Chains A and B, each alone.
Chain A
């Protein structure tokens, strides 16, 4: 009996101290530290993650929570004010159901999208017309394009995916792809294209590697240099949206993303193109103008 009460008292004291400790630390982290959340585009996620790690390392007490979820999630979360940064592959104006009035657009990067094919198709170069015919189901065998006698297997990204919207808008000239297989991540798409004979799909430049073959369009190769001078047309901005003008940690993190170090080294490593290197600008309705980046 005695022993029991002693133990109870000990537990009670521990609890009180534990809660007290938690409370004080909570307080101190609130006064000296700050935490923000970024949600959205999986295409932008690796960049924001890598950058946030570097940022946190040099700014103790700060915390940046980076999550994926897709461009739609990013835009709707930032619109409702649930997070501090909403990542999107698309302009907010392009996404139906989003009221873009209060949102402030920060274009942090440019991503090129390239068609990829299985290595055995025997086709490495297409014209835009041929590409449209392949994706709308008019061409069903690679033989029709001078390749091997293998049926075409279309692989799409999920409906509403930023990469798919970019590809259909600028690669297929606004034509909608035929109903076909859909996969919801670029990694899976690449894996499937590399192992399925006759497969064709599209991924962001960062996902290009030796397991698949990229396709030249109208004789232009999908390279960063060709995106910068807009000879390669299939590209989109990676946006970070804020609800109103950014403040505090959000503001300083966004300017950190724009810093020379990040835009040169990290972008190169992860396959993004710096907005500052672009010789052309594009507005949300697709108008291209020749001017040097911000």
Chain B
């Protein structure tokens, strides 16, 4: 009797396994391609997000971007310089290998090896020690409260698999061939890779042995890159795809109005701002000779107050932007509301220019990308028109991002006088912004390499060093606020807005939209 019941149950179980009651396939498209899958090759949100369905880090972030345990069950700071991570037990890689401390140590070494684009996730001076099979210590040269802030995208790889397949060397940007890990994966995550043809299609399937309880009901995922905006939106409207991103601002209405689809929008962590060359003694592209007007804070403030940010928000961005006074998203900094934009005031702007010795304004060339940020070129055009009203003649030079970044970044020798840039702090923390955008740099890019305008204030540099090793959160926030206060008043940059995320999703889909634009299948349910 018991036997027969068991058999029946087994048969039923087998039947369920063979024909899943709801074999849900998720089909989605992104504007860019997923080229290769080595998790340490490219520090780019989309790639890390796609690979993050297969691989997992010691920590992960939930839909509100809060850090939570993943492969590490818990962690503690045993001494100021020593962090201890307790690893989750019983976790298996997709090939069946056990996940142990050895894998973490191996991954830490590989992460910081030559060719890795993510080496900054973990300082070179941090020592990684396996205490036992499921405990790992990180020994730091000094305290660092945000040690683990970028670890949600530092994915742990299987030592045995990586070594066994000759993939220890990270496929670097310059490699002329890729190794095994570039086209094959072996993670611990909720999905496994089925097939991958770069630029064409990538297929994932559910990992039935995932350690966490699943919230998603997706069994199979098909990813297609679709570069053409119109085609991507059409494929969503026609029901061929369940999710596409990004949806161009002008198509959001259409996605909303179409029955069966909706647009998910929300603030993105990226801040768009303008920068001014404050380093050279004479601007490269201006009619002012013998001096640099941007060295004068009054000129910078005049530029700031000449910009009608509300007009940019409503006309150019169709309200899909949140004006900001800061270089960091308010979501990432608790004291953000202490900062207010200097008001739009062309009158004051003209007065400031006159006071600084430019009553008739001057002319300057503005560099702008035209395929990088949402409506980037249109924003620059609007700014140029607004500056014209206070007497500044702006020659706009808008270029595709390939040429644009080649000129303005360190590799191009900071070849610009007035530029646009967007920044998302990888660690989701203020220090990253200060370190990269606000500390002094030299001409080779030592220091704040992406401080393209070369703003420099020793007080800010000192604060940056202090912030890095301050463990007390409240004090740390105060230090960050202080750095932001100085740079706000000195107008190191002209912050514009947080642009918005726009995903197009089918009504059949429930999905968490993370502000960092990561699309993770574990947050998806389809009905």
Same assembly = no
Please list the residues of chain B having a beta carbon within 8 angstroms of any beta carbon in chain A: none
